[in-house]
Amino acid sequence: MNSAEVYAAPARPALSRHYPWILIGLLWMVAFLNAADRSILVAVMPKLRDEFGLTPERLALINSVFFWIYAFAAFLSGRLGDSTRRSWVIVGGLAFWSVATGLVSLATGFSMLLALRGLVALGEATYYPTGTALISDWHRPAMRSRALSIHQTAVLAGTGFGAYAAGLIADRLGWQAPFVIFGAAGIVWCAILYKVLKDAPTRAVRDTSDARKSLLGPLRVVVRRPPALFLCSVFFLGTGASTGVAVWAPTYVHDALGLDLADSALYGAATISVAGLIAVPFGGLLADWLAARTPIGRFYTLAIGLGLAGILLLPLMGARSAMAIGMVLLASSAGKGIFDGCIYSTMHDVVPSEARASAVGLMTMSGFIGAGLTPLFVAMASRVWGMAAGLTSLAALYFIAVIILLAIRGTTRRVVLETRRAEEAAAA
């Protein structure tokens, strides 16, 4: 490998100028499957609880172990995405986690569920650091938030509508069926990607890059940028809060109101998806608009979204009907959707191209450690205060994240401007 580059894909002058947006469509489905496959378990938790006699803590632990394995695997896969063909990482990861998802249907008890969910996490972790970096490779900075926000809607669609579909299938065919069906869909899409997914024509890094001078590679670039590390802490808090809600909301609706799995997922998961599908693209547009007016416009967008998410989650304590619970989740998730619409482009604002997969890998690790902790917290808090209070208390995490974002404005402005100048010089 030439010392002047991490990886340079073969030039493809014949690629359509529309390919950057074709790429968004291709990866949208990968992100949908990534979120849907992990959401199946959330939809069928009441059936698993009854069939295997699982306590709330054990149910939470199945989800938490998934997130913790995902966290550390994402950190490692981010480094892989910066050092080899990103398309290879995406296709291989999709194949792995689709097979693992199908195998979950063979589980016969708690230990087997835990092990197979760990395999799914190991495969799924390969996608997001590399997928978001590939999108930024193909899209210029001025359009990056919009491109990434459209891609991000797939996560919301997969989380909500995937859970709803899993609930419908499980009600009719048993809890094993959605794992088999979703896993098979992933294998089909994997075959399509193998033919049409392309790396950016060139992805070079100059010899003077910090990434080439350090044994730690791109990670050294990331840790030298304080706003990147603060974004990891913000992602820890925001993802922890939203995951705690998303994991337990369908079960809360099921137990509190006596609804079946499909209706529980409709009010407790699909509402979150609907909010995201509307708010995430808006968050991308708002972030690009503010970024054109101030270097830290995307950071302000994150603060606006998380502030709204926290404030609008508070009424959950008083919600007593499926419609009221659904409306609270819809409103709070709209705020979180604004955040989701620009979190990756915000990280890319402070980290150069050669380290972006590693940066997102580190951020994902932080976020999914938080995502593993909050379901356990809600499970334990529900025994003392009740499920509604446990879920509502997660609003505090959103508020702490807002304080962090506003406190680092000065340092953030400087690093964003440095990164922009470096990107402009590399493009010249």
Structurally, how many domains does the chain consist of? Answer: 1
For residues 358 and 339, is the Cβ–Cβ distance under 8 A?
A: no
Rounded CA-CA distance 378/338 in Å is 24
5 part of a folded domain:
no
Rounded CA-CA distance 201/64 in Å is 39
11 part of a folded domain:
no
State which residues of the chain have pLDDT below 70: 1-16, 202-216, 426-428
Full domain range(s) for residue 352:
19-427
pLDDT at position 299 is: 96
251 part of a folded domain:
yes
pLDDT at position 132 is: 86
For residues 249 and 269, is the Cβ–Cβ distance under 8 A?
A: yes
357 part of a folded domain:
yes
pLDDT at position 13 is: 43
CATH number assigned to the domain comprising residue 318: 1.20.1250.20
pLDDT at position 216 is: 55
pLDDT at position 15 is: 54
pLDDT at position 361 is: 86
96 part of a folded domain:
yes
383 part of a folded domain:
yes
pLDDT at position 81 is: 77
pLDDT at position 264 is: 86
173 part of a folded domain:
yes
Cβ–Cβ contacts within 10 Å for residue 227, how many? Answer: 25
Rounded CA-CA distance 410/64 in Å is 36
pLDDT at position 75 is: 84
The three-class DSSP label of residue 176 is coil
Q: Which two tokens stand for residue 224?
A: 């030298």
| Digit-coded pLDDT (tens) for 401-422 | 999 999 999 999 999 998 888 7
pLDDT at position 192 is: 94
The pair phi, psi for residue 296, each rounded to 5°, is: -105, 30
7 part of a folded domain:
no
Q: Which two tokens stand for residue 316?
A: 């959950």
Q: Which two tokens stand for residue 13?
A: 């002058």
Rounded CA-CA distance 388/325 in Å is 10
Q: At residue 5, what is the residue type?
A: E
pTM of the model: 0.76
pLDDT at position 191 is: 94
